[in-house]
A and B are shown apart, each in its own frame.
Chain A
Amino acid sequence: MSLIVVITFLVLAFLGMPLAFALGVSALGGLWLSGFDLMVLPPRIMNAVNSFPLMSIPLFMVAGELMLKGGIMERLVDLANAFIGRVRGGLAQVAIISGAGLASVSGAAVADASALSSTLVPSLRKQYGLGFSTGIVAAAANLGPIIPPSGAMIVYAFMAGSSVSVGGMFMSGVVPGVILFLSFMFLCWFISWKRDYPLAGDPISLSAILRELRRSFLVFLMPVVVIGGIVAGAFTPTEGAAIGVCYALLLGFFVTRKLRLADLPEVLLTAAKTSALVGAMIAFASTVTFLFTIDLLPMHLAGMMEGITESPFLFLCLIALMLLVVGMFLESNAAYIMLVPLFHPIALNYGIDPLHFGFLFVLNLVIGMLTPPVGVVLFVVCGITGVKMGELVRESWPFIAAMYGVLLLCMLFPSVVTWLPERLGY
């Protein structure tokens, strides 16, 4: 039965049917062929999204959008400029710092790519040309789902079930996120030095740093309050996200004073529509996974994997290879929704730490967002800046290589991922 459902899904998906509906049609076919009463369908799809933790996805999205509309980008860029000063590749490093700062309030690579492309590429391209500028922006945007909060990690934790907490997933991304951030900073300097890009920016001044720190203090207080509150157990991720929304509203209306009431409908509608795309996939996939469970597919798959290798490291390598291919062709949310329920239990069988496996899974698919032919971050950057896909991909390779380097590091040394969550009791 599972095979028929999978084949139907693949045929429909490759014939261009949106993935959510391809899941729905194949699930419906599976239920019908298995002789199930079709009345199991509505409660299953409704209950799949009737979830308190899942609500944090649109709420974090709204918070991030409100922060952007409230004019935080300008403050982040000014702060980064003050810290970097006059060095080779300085403006590129400013973009990476801004991307990391944005990641700490938004958590969505696509929203970050859109914000960074429209605000930073015009000044970056004067220094480095369009290709490298867009490569920098795409890499900086990809920090979004790795540095907490992260929409991808919320979806992963939801699909993995009770063995993974959202707070634990958030914390697992901190150390690798910092390593990635530093490697991107180094790459910007190294490439600028190799290509002999001119020095840019103003010399470092303590007064400028203090001034910009004061201006950005309230922006950076948001992740401290929200993520800190979640980690400290003061509130759940969903409550934290709702507090983030209230905080962003106060900041936008009363501190930066750039947010207008007229901005709110668009922000709410965008977040709702984007959540619906993920929600539709989760809803219909729930019936597919129900059929898989009835068919004992996860058990068969686990047996097959254990037949191939008993080594946890080799299993991780196989998963990384599979996700490398999947990430090239499948949108990342679809991959979490379809593959996490199958492979997460197998990873537990191998004795792999659930947070370690979860982070590797997310990082693999985040890299997929930067790899053609289906790389959503690439599409967004191309769409906004007008850069040719080939040029962007060529300039993104050093950053993609750095991400694979960090992936390998995390695979070889699990403590890079698990050290911080363990210290915090996850």
Chain B
Amino acid sequence: MDRFLTSLLARADQGARFLVMLGAAAMVVVSAQVAMRYLFNGSFDWADEVSRLAFVATIFLAIPLGIRDGTHVGIDLLVSRLPEGLRVGIARLMSLLAAGMMLVVFWTAIVVAVTTWSERLGSINLTSSVFFLPVILGALHSALHLVHMAIAPGTVAKSTSEEVRP
């Protein structure tokens, strides 16, 4: 189980990394709006929606990468003082709880995406449910990482209160 999850997650991480970089790069399309406005006195109608979609995708697809790297901010003042066995047990329980929450997000997002499938975006002829795709993928990917951390606590990265942030 552990080996299967490790291999599955390695591939998922690789895919997420690529998509996240693509999404972050796509956000720069916003600058094209300024160029169009001031140089050509026009605008790209789709730029706003595309850049927001890229942003939403970047955020939700990068959440599991943060879980893998142990970079989500937490408070370790209390747990770091607990005995090893208890600390690992609590970490497993917390991972399972968070995984459960992510699975609820995953399932409800599918239901909402299916329900709203017929709604279209304003500037592109595309279903508005496309905004839920990164939520669905990110939630499932996150849940898998969290389950993996619960099964094999050794993969739990060090506490994250020391994390790097804007």
Contact = CB atoms under 8 A, between A and B. Distances in A.
Interface of A: 12-22, 24-25, 28, 38-39, 41-43, 45-46, 49-52, 54-55, 57-59, 61-62, 107-111, 114, 145, 151-152, 155, 234-235, 238-239, 241-243, 245-246, 264-265, 268-269, 271-281, 283, 329-334, 373-374, 376, 379-380, 383
Contacts of A39: 108, 111-112, 115
B59 A374 contact: no
Contacts of A265: 21
A114 B67 CA distance: 22
Nearest to B115: A39
A333 B27 contact: no
A49 B21 contact: no
Nearest to A332: B165
Given A15-B90, A42-B105, A331-B163, A269 B66 contact: no
Contacts of A54: 55
Contact of B20 (A41, A59, A272): A272
B126 interface: no
Contact of A18 (B34, B73, B77, B87): B73
Nearest to B87: A16
A281 B160 CA distance: 14
A274 B98 contact: no
B132 A46 contact: yes
A168 B18 CA distance: 36
Given A14-B78, A39-B111, A45-B105, 10 more contacts: A14-B77, A42-B113, A55-B30, A110-B164, A239-B34, A242-B27, A243-B34, A277-B73, A330-B75, A380-B164
Interface string B9-37: 00000000100110111011111011000
A268 B97 CA distance: 31
A283 B109 CA distance: 14
B6 interface: no
A152 B94 contact: no
B147 interface: no
A22 B90 CA distance: 14
B21 A272 contact: yes
* Residue with the greatest number of chain A CB neighbours at <10 A, chosen from B20, B30, B58: B30
Interface of B: 17, 20-21, 23-25, 27-31, 33-34, 38, 48, 51-52, 55-56, 58-63, 65-67, 69, 71-79, 87, 90-91, 93-94, 97-98, 100-102, 104-105, 108-109, 111-113, 115, 131-132, 135, 159-166
A380 B165 CA distance: 10
Given A21-B101, A376-B164, A55 B55 contact: yes
Given A14-B75, A50-B52, A52-B48, A273 B69 contact: yes
B101 A246 contact: no
Contact of A275 (B62, B87, B109): B62
Nearest to B53: A50
Nearest to B51: A55
Q: State the majority secondary structure of interface residues on A.
A: helix
B25 to A, nearest CB: 6
B42 to A, nearest CB: 15
B55 A13 contact: no
A25 B101 contact: yes
A398 B27 CA distance: 41
Give me the 9 closest cross-chain CB pairs, A-B, nearest first. Answer: A276-B62, A18-B72, A279-B59, A151-B166, A242-B31, A21-B98, A42-B109, A242-B30, A16-B79
A169 B29 CA distance: 25
B77 A373 contact: yes
Given A41-B104, A243-B34, A19 B20 contact: no
A307 to B, nearest CB: 30
A12 B108 contact: no
B135 A46 contact: yes
Contacts of B105: 24, 41-42, 45
Contacts of A20: 63, 72-73
Contacts of A235: 34
B27 A58 contact: yes
Nearest to B73: A331
B30 A18 contact: no
27 contacts: A13-B75, A15-B93, A16-B79, A19-B73, A39-B111, A43-B112, A46-B109, A50-B52, A52-B48, A55-B52, A110-B164, A145-B166, A155-B166, A243-B31, A264-B25, A268-B21, A268-B25, A272-B23, A275-B59, A277-B66, A280-B72, A283-B60, A331-B73, A373-B77, A376-B162, A379-B161, A383-B162
Contacts of A330: 75
A25 B100 CA distance: 9
B66 to A, nearest CB: 5
Contact of A280 (B33, B63, B104): B63
Contacts of B77: 14, 329, 373-374
A333 B108 contact: no
* Residue with the greatest number of chain B CB neighbours at <10 A, chosen from A38, A242, A330, A334: A242
